[in-house]
Amino acid sequence: MIDPVLPVYTLPKQLRTQRLLLRPVRLTDAQAMFDYASDPQMTRFVTWPVHRTLDDTYRFLSNVVRQYELGSVTTWGIVDNSTNVFIGTIGCHGIDRDNLRTEAGYAIARAHWGRGLMTEALRAWIDMMFRHTDLNRIEAFYTPENCASGRVMEKAGMSFEGFLRQCRIVKQRTIDLKLYAILRSDWEAMTRR
């Protein structure tokens, strides 16, 4: 059973990488999030609908902030250290406690594509999850048309595990997905290098 909250894990309040700050999202991030979440080019590969109005973004952020109040941090904001601008999100789609696994998901503003920022964020997020939880497996999926996301997963240490034909219905259409994953043992081997 997948539980959407993480109350049993104590995660850091924020993470800092060379170029990024990962921190809880805030309602004040609404305009910056709307700017990329309303971009049809950016949202064509995500499972959630394009944000049509700023209210769509406020509803999403309000829901995430409510989760924080319940003790769950499943969504992290990504902030560019050099500009202090909110540029995306990263997090998990619930925890399968019975099998000690979760599914990672992320989005970043199109203006920041191709700079390695999402790989940097995903590496830091994976590291945090393995250091501060008892998870054994982190999975991520992408549509075959979104090869850049696959490269992000590979560069973050995840391995390709398979092609899932017509496995989800997203935005009223059945889609194929490619599955990547990293095991705790993979992460431990990487951290020893």
Q: Which residues pair with 141 in a beta bridge?
A: 179
What tens digit of pLDDT does each residue of 86-142 get? Answer: 999 999 988 898 999 999 999 999 999 999 999 999 999 999 999 999 999 999 999
Indicate the pTM of the whole model: 0.91
Please list, in sequence order, all residues whose beta carbon lies within 8 angstroms of the beta carbon of residue 9, skipping any fewer than 6 positions away: 132, 133
Q: What domains sit in the chain, N to C, each tagged with a CATH number?
A: 2-140 (3.40.630.30)
Residue scoring higher pLDDT (7 or 131): 131
CA 115 to chain centre: 17
pLDDT band per the 50, 70, 90 thresholds, residue 33: very high
| Residue 167 vs residue 140, higher pLDDT | 140
